[in-house]
Amino acid sequence: MNQTIFNILLQPIEAVMTSISTSIDQESSSQKLFFTDFVRKLFFAYLEQVGSLRSLPVELQSNRKCRELGLFYTPFSTLKDGFSRFQSKSFKLLFDTALGSLKLKQVECLDEIGLFRVIDGSLFPTLIQMRWSEYRKAKNAFKLHLSFELNRLIPTEFVLGSGKSSERTFLESVLEKGVTYIADRGYASFEIIAKLLKAEAYFVFRVKDNLLYEVQERLAIRTEELPLCFREVRDELIIFKNDKHRNKVRLIQFKVAGSYFRIITNRFDLRTLKIIVLYAYRWQIELFFKYLKRTFKGLHLFNHSQNGVEIQFYLLMTLALLLLKMKQDCQKLKPQKQKAQEKSEKKDESPSKWIRNISKIFYGSWKISKSWLQIIKNSLSKVIDNELLTMLNSC
């Protein structure tokens, strides 16, 4: 039987949805709204880019695609009740299932040197009445703490906390042996470094400019491979004077576009430029935050309770995985080994152009364009055929 785009997209989680739905519906004592139906309607709302929960019943009643997909009318009050009737842990199971079962392509040039996760947090403004998202006196916001894997360009773990919640606490909670964590200045501390080393994990952190240190050894730099936009590049083994643990780390310093960068790492096996490139890849998590906020309209919440917001973000993260899987399954490109974008010859290019060039390894199989999503949106109730496949592969 031919399946629609919508059903193909949700197929990887259909089995677990079916297996848990009966017990969830019994626990919630729901008579009008059932778990599977609720999930499918919310996925449709995100794909259709419905602006609010109040607009969803109108779509269910009047949108031809809803009738074709078997998504029938549900009143606003019943949909709203779903965010309190169902618990976010059930939606976490959908995310965990997608994360653990989907076979996604990996960036080969990163796989060759390790597993890399970027850690960061982003604020989502909320209503002042949302007490759980306390941030400032006249402004509330919750913070999305995210672990984002560079090897597959996907979210792997996340936590929603108040705007005041600790970023370092989240990092400590996700530490795994052998993983290299990449983060900005807010995460670096002597205690965090000690915990990373104890966990046998690696790090690439930017640090503040005013830290005092002792140079233990100056390391060789392949200056011939550095872009011309980099100035005053140094690579040294150091010990920070105020670090009671006296841990030896590698400090790489350089100046670019008038800004000075100091990056510390315990990856002693990689060249200077490779460490700089890895830190530059930190920007991919910022692009993912933008993807959530703008493309998925994550700034427009359907429900404002903590449980309700967690439900929405488990579904958004699951949808991000499912869309990436569909994109990669639809591609008809010949498999090619991804090459690092570093060049042995110097290039006189701007920092922004350099960033774009090194990020090309993520294009093609890992980036989802707005036009690709538009085709998916317009084709949700269609059966996939060669014409549709050609359109998707052209984006």
Q: What is the pLDDT of residues 206-248, one digit of tens each?
A: 999 889 999 999 999 998 889 888 999 999 999 999 999 999 9
User: Which of 108, 210, 95, 203 has its CA nearest to residue 155?
Assistant: 95
Q: Which pLDDT belongs to residue 332?
A: 67
In this structure, of 5-14, 194-203, 222-231, the range with the lowest mean pLDDT score is: 222-231
Model confidence at 249, pLDDT cuts 50, 70, 90, reads: very high
Q: Which pLDDT belongs to residue 351?
A: 87
Percent of the chain with pLDDT over 90: 81
Tokens 């983060």 correspond to what residue?
183
Q: Which pLDDT belongs to residue 110?
A: 97
pLDDT at 131 over 50: yes
With b for 16 or more beta-carbon neighbours within 10 A and e for fewer, the 329-364 pattern comes to: ebeeeeeeebebebeeeeeeeeeeebeeebbebbee
Distance between CA atoms of 106 and 136, rounded to whole angstroms? 41
Q: What pTM does this model have? A: 0.93
pLDDT at 204 over 70: yes
User: Which of 243, 249, 179 has its CA nearest to residue 219?
Assistant: 249
Extents of the domains making up the chain: 108-284
Give the mean pLDDT of the chain. 92
CB distance 141 to 124 below 8 Å: yes
Q: Which pLDDT belongs to residue 58?
A: 98
Distance between CA atoms of 213 and 215, rounded to whole angstroms? 7
Q: What is the pLDDT of residues 140-158, one digit of tens each?
A: 999 999 999 999 999 999 9
Q: Both ends of the chain: CA-CA distance in Å?
A: 27
Q: What is the pLDDT of residues 62-92, one digit of tens each?
A: 999 999 999 999 999 999 999 999 999 999 9
Q: Which two three-digit tokens encode residue 197?
A: 């080393």
Tokens 């919640």 correspond to what residue?
165
Q: How far is CA 215 from CA 7, 148, 155, in A?
A: 59, 33, 37
Mean of the pLDDT values across residues 288-301? 91
pLDDT at 340 over 50: no
The SS3 of residue 205 is strand
Percent of the chain with pLDDT over 70: 95
Q: What is the pLDDT of residues 114-127, one digit of tens each?
A: 999 999 999 999 98
Backbone angle region of 354, left / alpha / beta, with phi > 0 → left and psi within -120 to 50 → alpha: alpha
pLDDT at 381 over 90: yes
CATH 3.90.350.10 matches 108-284? yes
CB distance 231 to 218 below 8 Å: no
Q: ∠ CA(64), CA(70), CA(76), 5° rounding?
A: 80
Please, what's the largest Cα pairwise distance for the chain? 70
Mean of the pLDDT values across residues 166-186? 96
Q: What is the pLDDT of residues 253-264, one digit of tens each?
A: 999 988 999 999
